[in-house]
Amino acid sequence: MENIVQTKARLHLLDWIGCVAGARNSEIGRIQRRDRLGEAVVDRAAWLGNVLEMDDVHRAAILHPGPVIWPAVLGAGSDALDEALAAAVRGYEAVIAIGATFDARHYGHWHNSATAGCFGAAAAAACRLGASQDQLVSALGLAGSVTGGLWQMRHEPVMAKQWHIAHAVATGRAAARQAMAGVTGPRFILEGPQGLFAATCTEAKPLALGAGWRIDEVSFKPWGACRHAHPAIDAALALKAAGKLAGPVTVSTYRDALTFCDRATPDGVAEAKFSLQHAVAVVMARGEPRLTDFEPDAIAALAEVRALVTVAEDEALTAAYPAHFGATVSSGAGSVTLADARGDPERPLPVDGVIEKARALMIWGGIAATAAENAISTVLETDRVSAVTDLLEDWL
């Protein structure tokens, strides 16, 4: 595996570490730290990578690979980080390739990061443990046979989304270990007559593997909101920079963005992160969104501005989705259309941007500035898995 691919993987590891650090003082973070329910620190960390909605994302698969892959791969195998990075790249490959086969019916009910996540965690852990081809197939079959994750948790103020991630990690890792011991799993768990496609999809897409590694297709998220809100945030920022973001504003975007993020009156932090209206109101009133802009005080303070924002579907942007997440933001003074969001491969976040994001997340999570700098250097330079897990142990 090329060094450049492992270097990219290390940046995604840093991104995940930052997300975990940033969430350590969240309600669910306090539960995990207080009760130490996970047997290992990576089990506790598995609960936190998705809390702030800043985890990496793959558009075509509509899922977040990092929160599932990193705790799975750090919790298996030897102390050699280069081997862990190589296994993680293969885990990204599996979770993305399988997630991209799911159709609209699947995504309408199932949380792709969870259903495909079990496969990704199993692949990462199995590769980390040196699985043969047959053992890898069994690990994937075992994990896939009990995968799941229903979207009902979107309609209630609960923590089940984080449970989905933690469950995928634990299930995938356990499947890998069982397969290594000789336990066999179904080979046709995806396309079999009673497999995952038959149960959850109307018309599954073909499984495709490209010439390169699909981790290169993964986006970094600069803003602490649902990825479906990011194109609107970026378009609003561009319109604001031109001095044309004022008065009533319309956001036109693809259908899934409305399905997940049409919330004119968000109730609480989680709903604010899934509100197109709130995200654009933040830009109108304050500029680039910060994590504080999705907290209760900001939700209350921006009610009048939020009322100026309406949303609608743009059929052309729906047709381009999920290969592209696009949005148009219009006001009386003008409009801006963006086909892709900041952090996508077409508009990449520079290395310094990924590092600055991790630094800001660590400080948000209560890590002292000097400790944050040390953590960043450790993740970017160490050759030992234990150096990374020691950081997590200190934080969690």
What is the domain-level CATH number for residue 257? 3.30.1330.120
Residue 373 pLDDT > 90: yes
The string over 135-153, giving b where at least 16 C-beta atoms fall within 10 Å of a residue's C-beta and e elsewhere, is bbbbbbbbbbeebbbebeb
Give the number of domains in the chain. 2
Range name among 207-211, 226-230, 241-245 with the lowest pLDDT average = 207-211
More confidently predicted of 350 and 36: 350
Provide the residue range defining the domain that includes 155: 3-221+347-395
Q: Give the pLDDT confidence of 132-164 residue by residue, as tens digits.
A: 999 999 999 999 999 999 999 988 889 999 999
Residue 97 pLDDT > 80: yes
Half-sphere exposure of 325 (CA within 13 A, CB side): 29
pLDDT-based confidence at 2, cuts 50/70/90? low
Residue with tokens 């852990």: 125
In the prediction, which pLDDT does 320 show?
Answer: 95
In the prediction, which pLDDT does 247 show?
Answer: 86
Spatial distance between the Cα atoms of 308 and 289, rounded to a whole number of angstroms: 18
In the prediction, which pLDDT does 333 show?
Answer: 87
pLDDT-based confidence at 37, cuts 50/70/90? confident
Last residue of a domain, one of 338, 363, 384: 338
In CATH, what number is assigned to the domain containing residue 120? Answer: 1.10.4100.10
Q: What amino acid occupies position 287? A: G
Task: Note whether 216 and 235 are same-domain residues.
Answer: no
Task: Note whether 41 and 188 are same-domain residues.
Answer: yes
Residue 63 and residue 113 in contact, taking contact as beta carbons nearer than 8 Å = yes
Task: Note whether 277 and 216 are same-domain residues.
Answer: no
Task: Note whether 132 and 245 are same-domain residues.
Answer: no
Q: What amino acid occupies position 169? A: V
Spatial distance between the Cα atoms of 33 and 365, rounded to a whole number of angstroms: 13
The predicted model gives 47-62 an average pLDDT of 95
Which neighbouring-strand residues pair with 250?
Answer: 310, 330
Average pLDDT of the chain, as a whole number: 95
Spatial distance between the Cα atoms of 347 and 287, rounded to a whole number of angstroms: 19
Spatial distance between the Cα atoms of 59 and 340, rounded to a whole number of angstroms: 10
Q: Give the pLDDT confidence of 282-314 residue by residue, as tens digits.
A: 999 999 999 999 999 999 999 999 999 999 999
The predicted model gives 224-251 an average pLDDT of 95
In the prediction, which pLDDT does 6 show?
Answer: 87
The predicted model gives 91-111 an average pLDDT of 97
Task: Note whether 33 and 149 are same-domain residues.
Answer: yes
Compute how many other C-beta atoms are within 10 angstroms of the C-beta atom of residue 35: 9
Tokens representing residue 264 in the block: 């004119």
In the prediction, which pLDDT does 38 show?
Answer: 67
Task: Note whether 37 and 180 are same-domain residues.
Answer: yes
Residues 6+ apart with CB under 8 A from 356: none
The predicted model gives 66-86 an average pLDDT of 95
Task: Note whether 94 and 121 are same-domain residues.
Answer: yes
Task: Note whether 15 and 32 are same-domain residues.
Answer: yes
Residue 1 pLDDT > 70: no
Task: Note whether 315 and 195 are same-domain residues.
Answer: no
Residue 41: phi, psi to the nearest 5? Answer: -60, -30
- Orientation of helix 112-128 relative to helix 160-180, angle to 10°: 30
Task: Note whether 76 and 140 are same-domain residues.
Answer: yes
In the prediction, which pLDDT does 59 show?
Answer: 94
Last residue of a domain, one of 297, 320, 338: 338
Tokens representing residue 351 in the block: 């290395």
Task: Note whether 276 and 352 are same-domain residues.
Answer: no
Q: Give the pLDDT confidence of 307-339 residue by residue, as tens digits.
A: 999 999 999 999 999 999 999 999 988 999 999
327: helix, coil or strand?
A: strand
Spatial distance between the Cα atoms of 320 and 79, rounded to a whole number of angstroms: 43
Long-range CB contact pairs, 320-326, < 8 A, 24+:
320/254, 321/254, 321/255, 321/256, 322/59, 322/60, 322/61, 322/62, 322/256, 323/59, 323/60, 324/59, 325/59, 325/227, 325/228, 325/230, 325/231, 325/254, 325/257, 326/231, 326/253, 326/254
Residue 211 pLDDT > 90: no
Task: Note whether 323 and 354 are same-domain residues.
Answer: no
